[in-house]
Chains A and B, each alone.
Chain A
């Protein structure tokens, strides 16, 4: 500062009441959208290959990148002011905008099924959040490129759009930790590398490699004739849906359309996708196999999967839905698909008897591991909540006893524990509220979902699982739902994917006001 400036009287300026730097958010959002538009090139190439219309994709990409450029122009060079506060807003709005981008090709292509803006937005949000709930009633009618776009949105959303941006963009002009933590919560993720950028890169490389491995495995099943329907196109489409624990399929009968071998392979990769990627990195890439055994969350995750598979298989067998290997396979597959929040189906569980449905319903609240592509409450939170409850009981007997809660032997800080309890409370509250809205709306519009179906739809959307029961089961569609329910589900999917907190802080006064 020069002498003359320093000598001037201080400029106090107008009172500012807004605590969030909107210009910084706009700039960063603009950059993210600018590059996100490029993602449309992939379905465009698929469309070219199958001689289908290319323009819906190119137009959607151009509009998205154009809006991005415009936002950048609006507030150039502000992005370095993105702090923790701005991080929440950028992440939340990015996901809304990404779904908007994803909806454009559906809109442009028109057609009965996805021509309505709300339906197109629902489908895109369901894709990016890796939910896998669909309003499409006849999948066979979608063009191949459009079906592939549907699958591809899930793959983009799986590891996180912003994590992807951090990994591949030359520079984002921000540190990125605040964004990564808002988009991909989990204590271990940030420790994978010293630099956020190389952390993001490693996660995406591992994610890409696992996807490639699955494509190869499925393609081999197709080539060797084990599964006649598994073409390379289907292999890619289902890998794009499995690794992000999405759940969209190109087949109206979901994974039931494929052979048992394919179902087993997909189940295995769903289990991997629901594990902590930082742990997978250590275990698979750095070959510390014992890392899996030592990790408390992973052990509980596998145990829960085994228990769930056993219970579901027993029910399948007991109700005469399948026998022998098929019963075991359907038990394992349905348990895995719900716990990892994928939402595939190897059998139409939407029409199962109530008892079997209830057990699937309960599984919807488990979720994958922290740092996985799965959603819902997640295993580590259940683990910590269990420890909190046990300590509470111990301290009821002996109030003076001091018991730090440990995860993998390391004491967990009390604030993190409060955040876990708060998350679970918010989660259950939002699920119940969403379920009530959908139940009332379906009762009014006569969509025939029923109260249990409405609650399941709410849990399924918030947990990014996908199918509910009854008409909205895995082979069905959410098309009969009214607009209020559709909007509610969009909100639930969005909040669920961002693990509620980044969205929830946006409705507090403290967030916005100084």
Chain B
């Protein structure tokens, strides 16, 4: 572990029981505090020094996590780990979305990249985007969502209790699985969704919202949101929400940053204002937003602005809490959800550390189902086959990504070489599916 800050200590907390952990940091005080709380080895040194890393024993590590707050340190440490730690799995934390994109494109030689801003944005957009969902995962840069819903008694009668072939299934989506008690079915046209079921849906973000509206008719889908603060976190949140087709208004006090945000997000409306000016909040009808997100740098400001927004009538408030203690304070103060970026990041690292396969796949229902993201080889025997003619092997093609955009295929569409296929499958079938494509 390189870095013993908030993220580092949260990760240590989760991993120290099952792993032998060595923590490297430049601050002796942090190391001492960590050493008193957990049974871990601490080492005072610099993550960018190859000598210090060697002395800390990087050569024998199975997993190297670089999670300091500085991108450069993490990148350099990750690079040295790749050279000196042989087969070790490397994870780096970054605050720059560009590195995540590089890594996804295979240009960054590490096993996993976590971006606090991105994770925070995804966490918040999941809360906002599909209010009725239990869990959501996004694929293909957010164009494809896999969502688990619990079907309640209040769900719309149009979809519940009706055979799927007759039900108004939202466009660009498929029901991948119906889980009833211990039994799971990959449904066909004659299957029926019943109250008490848990279902897995693959589809476009819009379709996911439509499902949410069908399954929880009372809570209308969130269509307009106001985001306070257009810094890194605020911008990442705005981008994630805009990708889901949600109308976003951004409020930023800094003139230059407001200008940059306005240039980056043509679809958002950006205001250069403090967000705590009552006259402004009243005139722009900020209270008419369905939800407000507070992503300013200062926790105290977030809390006050959120309280003010509540006064002006915003029903649902989500605030970013930079300090761990703020999470409780926010909830105490009546903010609906508080999100701590470091905690979210640490959770993501832990999730990966437990099972490195999450890089490629999302796990659903324990480990019984996997969602694979596979690129079709030109030699695959299914290239040129219509989807309706493909065999059923306990797997379902939810979406394909062709030339960067997602397509939700119908029976007459044809699989092409180079298509990225997003497949929902039983875990036991996964190797067969990967091989067939």
Instruction: Give me the interface of A with B, judged by CB distance under 8 Å.
Output: 398, 400-404, 406, 409, 411
Contact of A400 among B259, B263, B266, B273 (CB under 8 A): B273
The answer to the question of B338 belonging to the interface, with a C-beta cut-off of 8 Å to chain A, is: no
CB-CB under 8 A from B272, the residues of chain A are: 400-402
**Taking CB as reference atom, which chain A residue is nearest B252?**
A402
| Complex-state Cα separation, A398 to B262, whole angstroms | 15
Docked-complex contact B270 and A401, CB < 8 angstroms: yes
CB-CB under 8 A from A409, the residues of chain B are: 266
In the complex, chain B residues 255-304 whose Cβ is within 8 Å of any chain A Cβ:
258-259, 261-263, 266, 269-273, 280, 283-284
Docked-complex contact A403 and B262, CB < 8 angstroms: yes
CB-CB under 8 A from B271, the residues of chain A are: 398, 400-402
Docked-complex contact A402 and B280, CB < 8 angstroms: no
Q: Which of A400, A403, A409 gathers the greatest number of chain B CB atoms within 10 Å?
A: A400
**Taking CB as reference atom, which chain A residue is nearest B250?**
A402
Contact of B284 among A398, A406, A411 (CB under 8 A): A398
Docked-complex contact A402 and B266, CB < 8 angstroms: no
Docked-complex contact B273 and A411, CB < 8 angstroms: no
Q: Which of A398, A400, A402, A406 gathers the greatest number of chain B CB atoms within 10 Å?
A: A402
Docked-complex contact B283 and A402, CB < 8 angstroms: no
Apart from A404-B259, A404-B262, 7 more pairs, CB < 8 Å: A400-B272, A401-B271, A402-B262, A404-B263, A406-B266, A409-B266, A411-B263
Docked-complex contact A402 and B284, CB < 8 angstroms: no
| Complex-state Cα separation, A363 to B259, whole angstroms | 36
| Complex-state Cα separation, A411 to B260, whole angstroms | 10
In the complex, chain B residues 125-146 whose Cβ is within 8 Å of any chain A Cβ:
none
CB-CB under 8 A from A404, the residues of chain B are: 259, 262-263
CB-CB under 8 A from B270, the residues of chain A are: 401-403
| Complex-state Cα separation, A400 to B258, whole angstroms | 10
Docked-complex contact A401 and B269, CB < 8 angstroms: yes
| Complex-state Cα separation, A401 to B283, whole angstroms | 12
| Complex-state Cα separation, A131 to B258, whole angstroms | 46
CB-CB under 8 A from A400, the residues of chain B are: 271-273, 280, 284
**Taking CB as reference atom, which chain B residue is nearest A397?**
B283
- 7 example contacts (A-B, Cβ-Cβ < 8 A) are as follows A398-B271, A398-B283, A398-B284, A400-B271, A400-B280, A401-B272, A403-B262
CB-CB under 8 A from B283, the residues of chain A are: 398
**Taking CB as reference atom, which chain A residue is nearest B259?**
A402
| Complex-state Cα separation, A404 to B261, whole angstroms | 10
Instruction: Give 10 closest A-B pairs by Cβ, nearest first.
Output: A400-B273, A400-B271, A402-B262, A411-B263, A402-B270, A402-B258, A404-B263, A404-B262, A402-B272, A400-B272
| Complex-state Cα separation, A427 to B384, whole angstroms | 61
Interface string of B24-39 (1 = CB under 8 A from A): 0000000000000000
Question: Nearest-CB distance from B434 to chain A (Å)?
Answer: 37
CB-CB under 8 A from B259, the residues of chain A are: 402, 404
Question: Nearest-CB distance from A398 to chain B (Å)?
Answer: 6
Question: Nearest-CB distance from B227 to chain A (Å)?
Answer: 14
| Complex-state Cα separation, A404 to B255, whole angstroms | 12
Question: Nearest-CB distance from A310 to chain B (Å)?
Answer: 32
CB-CB under 8 A from A403, the residues of chain B are: 262, 270
In the complex, chain B residues 94-129 whose Cβ is within 8 Å of any chain A Cβ:
none
Interface string of B162-203 (1 = CB under 8 A from A): 000000000000000000000000000000000000000000
Question: Nearest-CB distance from B21 to chain A (Å)?
Answer: 47
| Complex-state Cα separation, A402 to B264, whole angstroms | 12
**Taking CB as reference atom, which chain A residue is nearest B280?**
A400
Question: Nearest-CB distance from B271 to chain A (Å)?
Answer: 4
CB-CB under 8 A from A398, the residues of chain B are: 271, 283-284
CB-CB under 8 A from B269, the residues of chain A are: 401
| Complex-state Cα separation, A401 to B261, whole angstroms | 12
| Complex-state Cα separation, A400 to B270, whole angstroms | 8
Question: Nearest-CB distance from A410 to chain B (Å)?
Answer: 9
| Complex-state Cα separation, A401 to B263, whole angstroms | 13
CB-CB under 8 A from B262, the residues of chain A are: 402-404
CB-CB under 8 A from B273, the residues of chain A are: 400
**Taking CB as reference atom, which chain B residue is nearest A410?**
B263
Interface string of B53-86 (1 = CB under 8 A from A): 0000000000000000000000000000000000
**Taking CB as reference atom, which chain B residue is nearest A394?**
B269
| Complex-state Cα separation, A409 to B259, whole angstroms | 15
| Complex-state Cα separation, A401 to B259, whole angstroms | 10
**Taking CB as reference atom, which chain B residue is nearest A401?**
B271
CB-CB under 8 A from A411, the residues of chain B are: 263
**Taking CB as reference atom, which chain A residue is nearest B257?**
A402
Question: Nearest-CB distance from A414 to chain B (Å)?
Answer: 9
CB-CB under 8 A from B280, the residues of chain A are: 400
| Complex-state Cα separation, A398 to B96, whole angstroms | 33
**Taking CB as reference atom, which chain B residue is nearest A414?**
B259
Question: Nearest-CB distance from A394 to chain B (Å)?
Answer: 9
| Complex-state Cα separation, A310 to B273, whole angstroms | 47
CB-CB under 8 A from A402, the residues of chain B are: 258-259, 261-262, 270-272
| Complex-state Cα separation, A159 to B349, whole angstroms | 61
| Complex-state Cα separation, A148 to B400, whole angstroms | 63
| Complex-state Cα separation, A212 to B261, whole angstroms | 48
| Complex-state Cα separation, A402 to B266, whole angstroms | 11
**Taking CB as reference atom, which chain A residue is nearest B262?**
A402
| Complex-state Cα separation, A402 to B48, whole angstroms | 41
In the complex, chain B residues 228-276 whose Cβ is within 8 Å of any chain A Cβ:
258-259, 261-263, 266, 269-273
| Complex-state Cα separation, A398 to B258, whole angstroms | 15
Question: Nearest-CB distance from B338 to chain A (Å)?
Answer: 27
**Taking CB as reference atom, which chain A residue is nearest B251?**
A400
| Complex-state Cα separation, A406 to B262, whole angstroms | 11
Question: Nearest-CB distance from B209 to chain A (Å)?
Answer: 27
| Complex-state Cα separation, A201 to B132, whole angstroms | 62
Q: Which of A398, A401, A403, A406 gathers the greatest number of chain B CB atoms within 10 Å?
A: A401
In the complex, chain B residues 37-54 whose Cβ is within 8 Å of any chain A Cβ:
none
| Complex-state Cα separation, A8 to B34, whole angstroms | 70
Question: Nearest-CB distance from B249 to chain A (Å)?
Answer: 9
Question: Nearest-CB distance from A340 to chain B (Å)?
Answer: 31
Question: Nearest-CB distance from B269 to chain A (Å)?
Answer: 6
CB-CB under 8 A from A401, the residues of chain B are: 269-272
| Complex-state Cα separation, A401 to B266, whole angstroms | 13
| Complex-state Cα separation, A403 to B269, whole angstroms | 8
Question: Nearest-CB distance from A352 to chain B (Å)?
Answer: 44
| Complex-state Cα separation, A402 to B271, whole angstroms | 5
| Complex-state Cα separation, A400 to B259, whole angstroms | 11
Question: Nearest-CB distance from A158 to chain B (Å)?
Answer: 36
| Complex-state Cα separation, A143 to B271, whole angstroms | 67
CB-CB under 8 A from A406, the residues of chain B are: 266
Question: Nearest-CB distance from A246 to chain B (Å)?
Answer: 40
| Complex-state Cα separation, A49 to B178, whole angstroms | 90
Question: Nearest-CB distance from B284 to chain A (Å)?
Answer: 6
| Complex-state Cα separation, A188 to B270, whole angstroms | 28
| Complex-state Cα separation, A208 to B205, whole angstroms | 52
| Complex-state Cα separation, A427 to B262, whole angstroms | 31
| Complex-state Cα separation, A331 to B362, whole angstroms | 64
| Complex-state Cα separation, A398 to B261, whole angstroms | 17
Question: Nearest-CB distance from B106 to chain A (Å)?
Answer: 28
| Complex-state Cα separation, A29 to B352, whole angstroms | 70
| Complex-state Cα separation, A241 to B173, whole angstroms | 60
| Complex-state Cα separation, A401 to B280, whole angstroms | 11
Question: Nearest-CB distance from A395 to chain B (Å)?
Answer: 11
CB-CB under 8 A from B258, the residues of chain A are: 402
| Complex-state Cα separation, A402 to B263, whole angstroms | 9
